[in-house]
Structure 1
Amino acid sequence: MMTSLYRPKSTSQEKNSLLLPLFCGGGLLGLLVFLFVSRLPDQNVQGLVRILEQASHVQVHASSIRWAPSQGLFRDCWNGRSLFFLGSESDRLRDVWSARVRIGPNGRLLGVAGIYNLTSTELGDEYALVLKGRWVAFATLAYHQVQSVTVFDRAGEDAQRLEEGLTDRWARSLTNYQRTGSTAGMGKLTISFEQPPRQIGLFLEDSQLRLEWMEQDGFHQEVANLEKGEFVSEGRGVQIDRAEPVQKQLIHWLVDTVRSVSWIGPAPIAWLEERFFGARDWLRRFCFWWGKGEPSLASSEKEEKPSTFPLHPELSDAEGKGWPPPPIESVWSSPEPDEGRWKVPPIPWIRSLSIGDIKAPPPFFQTFVRPDKQRSYVKVFLVVMDMRQLELEMEGGSEDPKPSLGPFGLGRIPRDPAISRRVLAAFNGAFKSEHGYYGMMVHRRILLPPQPNAATVAVLSDKRVAMGTWGPVETLNGFAGIDPSQIVSLRQNLDPLVDHFEVNPTKRGLWGYTLPGTGVQTERSAVGLTEGGHLLYAWSDDASATTLGRGMKMAGCVYGIHLDMNPKNTGFLFAAIEDLKGRRYRTALLNPLMGIAANRYIEHASKDFFYLLLRDPIPPPLPGLTPVDAKEPFWSVSPGTQSSPSWLPALWSARILWDQDPVEILQVVPGRVRFRLQLGSKEPDPKTGVSRPSPIREDSSAHILASVGMGFSTDRDMYGIAVRGMQFLPFLQNKAARTDMHRALLVADTDGKLAIHPSEEGFQLLPGTDAIELPLLVDGGNPIISELHGSNPIQQVQRTALGLTEKGQVLIARGSVAPSALAKILARAGCSHAVLFNRGGSAEGFLHRTGTNHPPLIRYPESALYMIATTMLPNAFHASPFSSPLPP
């Protein structure tokens, strides 16, 4: 008869006698694991690769396998020891995988307890996988460039700041376990580059990651402190961001979880949504009819008329016509109070642009319209945004869109105070990836490639916003006349909802994931472009897509893009951020019916979104130049009259020191001024019978802001000039003359834009073009020093030079310094080309400004360059699709 190991009663001594051998045996086994087992997996690489390939169904790259530290004998055997590797389907691009491999006491591989694809980037190739301690790092390569570097923290995501209940924590833990095999998940850091390198080397040292790469200017190295999520030194051209833990409402979590089940999919969810929203719409229409009855339309044949915005505000109107927008006429015979009347949002802390005592008008106006002729209770709420004051930005969500290369988006507004403190508003983005893999690019990092013929909004390098239908291409040249290098960010969704004032021009029948041939009355949103170049956001809690489009058309939208839909997915909020780390910020929803959290987009957003920044009108300081007064701002508003609107100056002035001599610099903001040449009365007679050009036209002379003297030619030093397409004096390249002088042509085209052409490049004079020959000071960013720039360069006379930067900025430097000093100043300021205003004869170097004691004159003895004010237009425009040529 066997004696049972379990006794009804036992003394403490008997228990201790049993536990002591167990503790000793466990300690001995743990010691054996520490000494031997943690080294055993590397001895059976082929077997390890085989079981990993069987579990993952991908090709495992054996050299990429990285083992995490052992957790001890029992956990390695029962739960599995973690490892990371690169895997790919045959010869396709690699992804980063993690696995938990169960290992026996003798090092035998018992099987795979869990395996997970951590990246799933269809167009990205992961490589340079490194692991040390809790940190795992790798780079993502696409389009022959390193798109990003990702760092995983195996210790888990930082969820301490989340305000969530027990159910939310349980749901998040379950999602983490499904994705990573750990309920704590994995923290994530993303490193991005302003100029992506071709290749990169990664080196983990304790809690620091060293990045090494080569660029055209030489070797680069940065070190990131992974614990703090920042670079050890100031990272120039690189940025590091910490991903926030996913926080999602329970109903959204349930829907997304059910949709992700392979044998269920999205169709049953769409069926349920259609039934629910259809029943709600019927009940609401019945209750409204029973209680009030449907009001009458203003006219049975009346169509929605667009409320037009003037394209070209008059210069005399300081604020610019078209702002605020004109009222919108109702389609109903009895308009509701404030229907179609634009009003300032009742939020006192919304900022507008201001320079000194001059303040801009409110940047937002809001109203509502009722465009549904069968449901008078349906309202479309609108907010229009002044794109003279605002800049549009966008960001990917922490879960959507699911990128085809590289990591997910940040899912929040950037933490850089220079950006966050300028945020005025944010609103939702487009559909989930599973409902259409429409393109998205954020700061030149492609999450999803562009799709042909999709409705697109893009942000360009000069901060302009292009909105239109993408061409029939999957590359970045989808807009006609816009070089791919100019596109910084873009987002696409569906077909255009409005195009050239036509609602649903493609006759699309499916706006959102519903059953084919059906429409749903639900919460919807859209972004549009007005004819005057402003952006507009439209939202309704109960509308079809066509109803939303009609409301946008009534508000004057020439183009519109359908954004996200359904409750809890859409919303627009105003914001004023002081300090994100201390959570000192204020927010307010556009409409209280919006079901999003008040801190959405700021703290966390699982889906992509747009945000609006208040424009920073002050130019950045010029590099390498010292202001006269270091305590004062580098730039100040240039005294005198400014282009319209006056609250956004076009001319800025600065005073710098160069070898203890003061030099004045005038900067002209691109696009705010037109340039014209005027022939001086002392320019020599060419004796060819050509009559002298007439002065500046009267309609232009009324808008002259400044004039700058350029000197006049002499019979000894002849410099060419052409005014309004008429050649008056020949250029050096067209006549026999001394060729040892560096000369260039300063050209003003018919739109008044300046360009500098070195004479040796050749030049064709076009009708209406101005061109003047001048000494060349800077060529290709390099100063040119020539004795011919002045007979006595040491003589203390006022000299003036003009330079152009690659971004189109115009800089005019004036001072009693040598021409070589002006050349060095403009080259250091970033000018690619510059010319000296000295045509051989007397050059006073004057700068006359309207609104000062020295206003411009209509005629001068010497030739002069005039600046003519132009009204600033909003920076959004309707782009045309690129049309690829037909194949032969």
Structure 2
Amino acid sequence: MTSSIAWKASSLLGTVAALHLALTAPSRSTLAPDARARLARAVAASTRLSVTADDLLFERTRAVSLQDAVFGRALWFTGRARPGAPRDVYRAEIRLTPDGTLLGLRALSNLTRSPLGDDGPMVPEAVASPDAPRRIAVPSRAFGQVQSAFVLDPAGDTATEARLRREVTNALETGSRVGVARYDLRLDRPADRVSLRFLSHDRVSLDAGRRAWTLDLRALSTEPSEGATLSRQQRVDKPPVIWAVDTVRSLPFVGPAPIAWLEQHAFAARDWWHQRVYRWFGRRPPPATVAEEPGPDDAGHVIASEAGPARDPDWPPPVIAPPLGAADPGEGRWVNATPPWVRHLDGAPPAFYRTFVRLDDERPYTRVLLVAMDMRQLELGMQAGVEDPVPHVGPRGDGRIPRTPGLMPRVVGAFNGAFKTEHGAYGMAVDGRVLLPPQPGAATVVTLDDGRIAMGSWDALPGLPSAVRSLRQNLEPLLADGVENPSRRGLWGFVLGGIETMPTVRSGLCADDRGHLFYAWGEETTARRLGRAMRLAGCTYGMHLDMNPTHATFHFLRVDDVAQRRYQHRALDGAMQSHGDRFLYYTLKDFFYLSLRPTLPAPVRGVAWTASRPQPPPSWMPGVTSLRIPLAPGREASVEALAADRVRLHLRAGRREPASTLVAEDRTFTPSPDRPLLGAIELGVAASLAEPRGLCVGGRVQLPFVATEHAGHLALRDGVVSIEAGAAVAPEVREALQGVLVRRRGASTGWTDAAVLPRQVLATTVDGRLLVVSGSLSGDELAALLGDLGAAEALLFERASGAAHWTGDEGLRDAWPESAVFIEGVPATSPVMRLEGWLRGQRGA
């Protein structure tokens, strides 16, 4: 209000002072260079930013005239907090004379707010009408490369039912009642430099040298579609109460402290009332209720098909002894939480179990709900919201579960993420893109490219390891190595009263040593009791997630057609405040989503995998799959894919190997009683001692490893496969076999052979599979097939053979004329691990 009055007063004074000059000076379609430089200096002085003449751009192209001295006009500019710092894009309302003298500046808005991103230069749209607002296209550079680009549209957002609220928000955020719409282009791979150009109002070209795209802003598409993703930043109409709270909190003269004071007293009053109801009437207030439609198996027994495995001793988790003595019905006992309409893996036990515990003897009516998740069956994904986190570089999140092909039919659930950026700016990365850098010491959950999940405290690293797919942090850990609140933190969320005096809705995520993840939620609880509930569930590490009503919720989901909005959802508990579109269509804040793990790899060249081989336990999660790829007429390649964490390989020398020091134990394999033998694959023999192919069994080198141009070898450490370059075998390797390294770190090593010959290759993939490829192929055919299979490392054995034998076949024996690897099955384990150990390994690498 004060700034508006000052603007009007200065407008009148400025008009009088500049009237003579304005009337005698002609209108200028563009400012002269000296006038632009003078205006830039004046803008810099008014905003305390570093601004140059080249950084200025009028929103409309009409000539500078007298009306601009009276009513003002919109100016876009890029500015730096200090010389040499990254640029942000700003918008302001200015008044100026026709010769470029600045009379006033107001409604300054930073439209990008990217501390790590350098946004600029601005490329304007060419418009036919000088009074039409023009769009601008801007590249965003970080870490020395262009990471993304965006288009800003001053025409703003379309009208909605919440038009008044939207206009207030727009005015506060952009200085314009209609707001500024934003279109974001994300590059899959950064570019050294880009060139942007408007082809028309809705079409923009981006040239990145060897790559180029045409952006269709109306259709939200790119041509070509590969390598870049175009989206429009969503503007979500919040419920009135949430909008009012966020709006008042964002005012610079208010801030978060008064809102936290109001929240504290409101929750304290509710807590006082609930305690009095319990004391006066001996009954609890309306409790948190378990939502309807419990799934089958409410007694907590594993569901298994007739052909399924025996009961798993680690799933569901053990019963929890009631902390307050006498148990409420069902307290501490795990029951199936999965609604019957949620998709599941055939023959698998329920993927979700639930229970509750009571921890507060002053409030025995309060409960902390726990959901155990079987991560052998589930994948964890992360997504940023349309508002939070606010990234340090690049666009905000999509606020919805990704539309990745094949994902929606596997989605089974989602739950809330962590705090807003303004409450700590804790790290987040999504699909390799860092929105907020991770903070050392913060509680962290990470997903890796190979599907594993890690929880722990982040260590100081120079950058994000390349294997990290997504990451989210929040506060210090609630629980670490079984110790509650190890950092002795007293403030969990922006709560003036601290950890104990603010019972409210809180949520968290934790992991136990068996690899299970648990979601914890309490309607009236403190952070300390949330951590205690995690420890009672068996967790050894836990992190606090979001808090307060409307923010913390867990959904079960089934999506039949996301485009047609055909889906089912149900909150874990009736007290959770949420709506059906959350997670699927728009979400203000970041969140996690859960999907069934694929039981088969993606088809290759249109050919689907099958799971007809003997399987490691459990049978409902295949660990061995196969396919046959047609090549030229009359030829095909056979591919076996083994889940690396579900098998162990053991090398035994063939009887025909030209080595004189072999003993019986080097040739014969004795299966372990704890691991089923799945099969064996013959790898041929060395032609002669004159042309050896290195062989090591029993910890002894039986045939020498020869250094050649493309030398490589298969190294087995306690049955775990590694494909390594060179001919030098590490001392701890007891079993190794030399071959030709044809692929290294996802690229060809340059080996080639035009002849079509019987070939056999062992390869590894980034997602944790071992591939055995055999057939009559040329070098080019082999290279193309390995690329299509996603091979990272690949070793060609020039020993011929390649015959595979499986359990149940008549020919499976414990020794062979040719050297062979024997395949043992390993029971599936959860992919969840502690982060600290993984980070130490990364530092060592």
User: AA paired with 2:382?
Assistant: M
- Of structures 1 and 2, the larger Rg is shown by 1
Work out the CA distance in 1 between the residues paired with 2:116 and 2:777: 56
SS in 2 for 1:697: coil
Is the 8 Å Cα contact of residues 353 and 372 (structure 2) preserved in structure 1? yes
Work out the CA distance in 1 between the residues paired with 2:405 and 2:266: 44
Write out per-residue CA displacement over residues 843-883 of structure 1, whole angstroms, 9 at most, x where no aligned residue.
Answer: 543111124x3463111121111121112211221121768
Q: Does residue 1:125 correspond to 2:118, yes or no? A: yes
Paired position in structure 2 for 1:381: 369
SS in 1 for 2:723: strand
Write out per-residue CA displacement over residues 597-655 of structure 1, whole angstroms, 9 at most, x where no aligned residue.
Answer: 33222222222211222223332344xxx5xxxxxx51322422112222221222121
Q: Structure 1 residues 389-398 or 510-519, which shifts more?
A: 510-519
Shift of 1:139: 2.1
Paired position in structure 1 for 2:297: none
Is the 8 Å Cα contact of residues 40 and 107 (structure 1) preserved in structure 2? no
SS in 1 for 2:263: helix
Is the 8 Å Cα contact of residues 51 and 112 (structure 1) preserved in structure 2? no
> Normalising to structure 2: TM-score of the pair?
0.85
Match of 1:492 among 436, 455, 473: 473
Q: Does residue 1:183 correspond to 2:182, yes or no? A: no
Write out per-residue CA displacement over residues 463-495 of structure 1, whole angstroms, 9 at most, x where no aligned residue.
Answer: 211110112x26446xxxxxx111122111111
Match of 1:586 among 554, 568, 573: 568
Paired position in structure 1 for 2:828: 872
SS in 1 for 2:836: coil
Distance 1:805 1:507, change over 3 A: closer
Q: Does residue 1:221 correspond to 2:221, yes or no? A: no
Distance 1:745 1:71, change over 3 A: same
SS in 2 for 1:880: helix
Is the 8 Å Cα contact of residues 474 and 545 (structure 2) preserved in structure 1? yes
Q: Structure 1 residues 221-230 or 42-51, which shifts more?
A: 42-51
Q: Does residue 1:414 correspond to 2:402, yes or no? A: yes
Work out the CA distance in 2 between the residues paired with 1:222 and 1:394: 28
Shift of 1:523: 0.8
Paired position in structure 2 for 1:800: 760
Write out per-residue CA displacement over residues 24-46 of structure 1, whole angstroms, 9 at most, x where no aligned residue.
Answer: xxxxxxxx99xx84714456212
Paired position in structure 1 for 2:340: 348
SS in 1 for 2:515: coil
Paired position in structure 1 for 2:139: 139
* % identity of equivalent residues: 36
Work out the CA distance in 2 between the residues paired with 1:405 and 1:522: 33
Shift of 1:678: 1.2
Match of 2:486 among 505, 516, 521: 505
Is the 8 Å Cα contact of residues 428 and 610 (structure 1) preserved in structure 2? yes
Distance 1:493 1:376, change over 3 A: same
Work out the CA distance in 1 between the residues paired with 2:783 and 2:243: 63
Q: Does residue 1:577 correspond to 2:533, yes or no? A: no
User: AA paired with 2:105?
Assistant: V
Work out the CA distance in 1 between the residues paired with 2:70 and 2:564: 43
Shift of 1:459: 1.5
> Normalising to structure 1: TM-score of the pair?
0.82
Shift of 1:837: 4.1
Shift of 1:124: 1.9
Write out per-residue CA displacement over residues 173-229 of structure 1, whole angstroms, 9 at most, x where no aligned residue.
Answer: 101011112222122222212222233222222121212224xxxx11011101111
SS in 1 for 2:271: helix
Paired position in structure 2 for 1:461: 449
Distance 1:693 1:670, change over 3 A: closer
Work out the CA distance in 1 between the residues paired with 2:466 and 2:142: 16
SS in 1 for 2:193: coil
Distance 1:252 1:812, change over 3 A: same
Paired position in structure 2 for 1:280: 270
Work out the CA distance in 1 between the residues paired with 2:245 and 2:791: 56
SS in 1 for 2:577: coil
Q: Does residue 1:763 correspond to 2:751, yes or no? A: no
User: AA paired with 1:361?
Assistant: P
Work out the CA distance in 2 between the residues paired with 1:610 and 1:333: 35
Distance 1:827 1:381, change over 3 A: closer
Is the 8 Å Cα contact of residues 432 and 469 (structure 2) preserved in structure 1? yes
Work out the CA distance in 2 between the residues paired with 1:293 and 1:585: 38
Write out per-residue CA displacement over residues 396-441 of structure 1, whole angstroms, 9 at most, x where no aligned residue.
Answer: 2222222222332222323445444433222111112222121122
Q: Structure 1 residues 244-253 or 415-424, which shifts more?
A: 415-424
Shift of 1:328: 2.1
Work out the CA distance in 2 between the residues paired with 1:583 and 1:778: 44
Distance 1:441 1:159, change over 3 A: farther
Work out the CA distance in 1 between the residues paired with 2:58 and 2:66: 17
Q: Structure 1 residues 178-187 or 776-785, which shifts more?
A: 776-785
Gaps of 5+ in 1: 1-31, 295-314, 478-483, 627-632, 734-738, 788-792
Write out per-residue CA displacement over residues 546-587 of structure 1, whole angstroms, 9 at most, x where no aligned residue.
Answer: 111111112121111111111222111122223333322222
Match of 1:94 among 87, 95, 99: 87
Match of 1:322 among 314, 319, 335: 314
Is the 8 Å Cα contact of residues 149 and 190 (structure 1) preserved in structure 2? yes
**Greater relative contact order (Cα < 8 A, sep 6+):** 1
Paired position in structure 1 for 2:109: 116
Work out the CA distance in 2 between the residues paired with 1:420 and 1:256: 32
Is the 8 Å Cα contact of residues 778 and 827 (structure 1) preserved in structure 2? no
Superposition pairs of residues 204-283 of structure 1, within 5 angstroms: 204-206=198-200, 207-214=202-209, 219-234=210-225, 236-283=226-273
Work out the CA distance in 2 between the residues paired with 1:814 and 1:106: 78
Shift of 1:453: 0.8
Work out the CA distance in 2 between the residues paired with 1:287 and 1:331: 23
Superposition pairs of residues 474-489 of structure 1, within 5 angstroms: 475-476=462-463, 484-489=465-470
Is the 8 Å Cα contact of residues 172 and 246 (structure 1) preserved in structure 2? no
Gaps of 5+ in 2: 1-21, 128-133, 285-306
Superposition pairs of residues 21-100 of structure 1, within 5 angstroms: 37=27, 39-41=29-31, 44-70=35-61, 79-91=71-83, 92-100=85-93
Match of 1:552 among 515, 534, 539: 534
Is the 8 Å Cα contact of residues 455 and 468 (structure 1) preserved in structure 2? yes
Q: Structure 1 residues 178-187 or 814-823, which shifts more?
A: 814-823
Paired position in structure 1 for 2:696: 722
Write out per-residue CA displacement over residues 94-130 of structure 1, whole angstroms, 9 at most, x where no aligned residue.
Answer: 1101123335678775533532111122222212321
Work out the CA distance in 2 between the residues paired with 1:742 and 1:259: 63
Is the 8 Å Cα contact of residues 159 and 245 (structure 1) preserved in structure 2? no
Work out the CA distance in 1 between the residues paired with 2:308 and 2:566: 41
Is the 8 Å Cα contact of residues 723 and 794 (structure 2) preserved in structure 1? no
Distance 1:610 1:742, change over 3 A: closer
Aligned length: 784
Work out the CA distance in 2 between the residues paired with 1:159 and 1:389: 44
SS in 2 for 1:488: strand
Paired position in structure 2 for 1:678: 652
Is the 8 Å Cα contact of residues 338 and 350 (structure 2) preserved in structure 1? no
Distance 1:654 1:754, change over 3 A: same
Q: Does residue 1:363 correspond to 2:387, yes or no? A: no
Shift of 1:347: 2.3
Work out the CA distance in 2 between the residues paired with 1:719 and 1:444: 41
Work out the CA distance in 2 between the residues paired with 1:559 and 1:328: 17
Distance 1:574 1:757, change over 3 A: same
Distance 1:176 1:415, change over 3 A: farther
Paired position in structure 1 for 2:296: none
SS in 2 for 1:732: coil
Is the 8 Å Cα contact of residues 675 and 867 (structure 1) preserved in structure 2? yes
Distance 1:418 1:152, change over 3 A: farther
Superposition pairs of residues 717-866 of structure 1, within 5 angstroms: 717-732=691-706, 744-759=712-727, 762-766=728-732, 769-774=734-739, 781-782=748-749, 784-785=751-752, 799-805=759-765, 809-816=769-776, 822=782, 825-826=785-786, 829-831=789-791, 833-839=793-799, 844-851=801-808, 853-854=809-810, 856-866=812-822
Match of 1:446 among 426, 434, 449: 434
User: AA paired with 2:246?
Assistant: D
SS in 2 for 1:55: helix
Is the 8 Å Cα contact of residues 438 and 492 (structure 1) preserved in structure 2? yes
Shift of 1:771: 0.8
